[in-house]
Amino acid sequence: MKLNNVDMGKAGVFVEEVMKDKSNALKAKKVEGTWTLEEGKPQFSATLEHANGRTTIEADGPPFLGGSGMKPDPVQYCLFGLAACYAQTFASIAAEKGIELKKLDVAAENQVNLTRALGLSNDPIVEKAKITVEVMSDADASILHEIEGLARERCPGVYCLTNPIRLDIEMKRSG
């Protein structure tokens, strides 16, 4: 059965698998991309593999940072990922509770201070992010607020923004 465009049968099977063995919840994610040196093309591209194939996405810096602005910039993709992840989490929790959504719009925004990226200060690059959720449902407002709280707690994208995560950077020299 699908509710809110979430296949509850498949999700239920996954929950059962994880309940039997929590290692089933560990999913590796990887994006490999290439900086394009050829003029007139977006600066970065990557092909993402997913369950039903592959999708190539491209990013380009804004003109004021030397890009052409012909594709979304990397920060926009970060915000897209946050918004999509939060929406998926919200819709899934609503479905899990049997709540039908008639509309779910999610906006993610931030303000970027580029002085650090330009080597001009040590100011924080981003001091806060904001998610705005617009939901239409016949459910009681208290239930929707409960779903919002659970989505805030469970969303992987929110977790990545609100908790320190160790970052390892490995550089390999070619040629």
Q: What percent of the chain has pLDDT over 90?
A: 99
- The pLDDT of 99-124, averaged and rounded, is 98
- pLDDT of residue 132 exceeding 90, the answer is yes
Q: What is the mean pLDDT of residues 65-72?
A: 97
Average pLDDT over residues 36-60: 97
Residue position matching structure tokens 């580029």: 114
- Region 48-53 average pLDDT: 96
Q: How far apart are CA 61 and CA 75, in angstroms?
A: 9
85's enclosing H/E stretch is: helix 74-96
| pLDDT at residue 54 tops 90 | yes
Mean pLDDT confidence for 118-142: 98
Residue 5: both structure tokens together:
């465009």
Q: Which residue has the tokens 């929790």?
A: 93
> Region 97-101: what's the mean pLDDT?
98
Stretch 20-28: mean pLDDT: 97
* E-only strand ranges, 41-114: 44-50, 53-59, 103-112
With tokens 């999509």, the residue in question is 84
What mean pLDDT is reported for the chain?
97
pLDDT of residue 175: 87
Is the CB of residue 149 less than 8 Å from the CB of residue 99? no
Mean pLDDT across the stretch 92-106? 98
